Amino acid sequence: MKVKFNGINHLALITPDMDQTVRFYRDVIGLPLVGAVSTDTFRHYFFDLGNHNTIAFFEYFGVTDTGGEKPAGIAASGRQFDHLSFNVETEQDMLNLAERLRGLGVEVTRVVDHDFIQSIYFTDPSGISLEASYWVRDITVQPSLKDSNPVPALREQDTSSPGRAAAGSGVALRNEDDYKL
């Protein structure tokens, strides 16, 4: 069964300083900060690029070196690129892709619920970490800013706009076992 891809859900990069990253991408570049989640080991913030495309950054607590090979969503030193997420139209498209990949011998994670997106993870033959995601709720229209320990730039953000969640209403959404193949 062929899967119809309709873009890149998000490009995930690594930053050693999320507050500095927010101030640059939101305040200097002008990209709206539309998603923020965290666990006890990382923050993950999303910036709207338009047309349902986002660029996202991980800040892994205690990690200052950003290089070396690693699976998607798992902290590792020495990396600036975490993974590439392909956007698919529906949950069924994502499940069809997972089935196709498994049928071809590619290891695929279970579906991981990130609150506003659901995803599967897999790796290409070169070891590049990949994800396929579909929007459960479009955060470019209805932002979800739920970092339980937000950086100062997020705490300062105006949340009076309709649909903007107040910073600090945190939800732990996932753990590292979700990404193991």
Of residues 20 and 45, more confidently modeled: 45
Q: Which two tokens stand for residue 47?
A: 């910036």
In the numeric block, the tokens 């119809």 are attached to 4
Q: What's residue 64's pLDDT? A: 76
> Domain extents for the chain?
5-179
Strands laid side by side in the 33-38 sheet: 112-113, 117-123, 129-135, 81-88, 5-14, 53-60, 42-50, 33-38, 144-145
Residues 39, 51 contacting (CB under 8 angstroms) = no
pLDDT digits (tens, 9 = 90+) for 94-117: 999 999 889 988 899 999 999 899
Rg, C-alpha atoms of the chain? 16
Query: Among residues 145, 149, 151, which one has the least CA distance to residue 165?
Result: 145
Percent residues over pLDDT 70 in the chain: 77
Q: What's residue 92's pLDDT? A: 96
**66 beta partners:** 78
Who's near 56: CB < 8 A, 6+ residues apart?
A: 10, 11, 12, 13, 35, 44, 45, 46, 47
Residues 145, 164 contacting (CB under 8 angstroms) = yes
For residue 84, pLDDT over 70 is answered with yes
For residue 29, pLDDT over 50 is answered with yes
Angle at 81 between CA 164 and CA 109, to 5 degrees: 80
Q: What's residue 177's pLDDT? A: 60
Q: What's residue 35's pLDDT? A: 96
pLDDT digits (tens, 9 = 90+) for 2-20: 888 887 889 888 888 899 8
Who's near 84: CB < 8 A, 6+ residues apart?
A: 8, 11, 12, 128, 129, 130, 131
Q: How far apart are CA 60 and CA 132, in angstroms?
A: 22
Q: What's residue 172's pLDDT? A: 40
| CATH class belonging to 5-179 | alpha beta
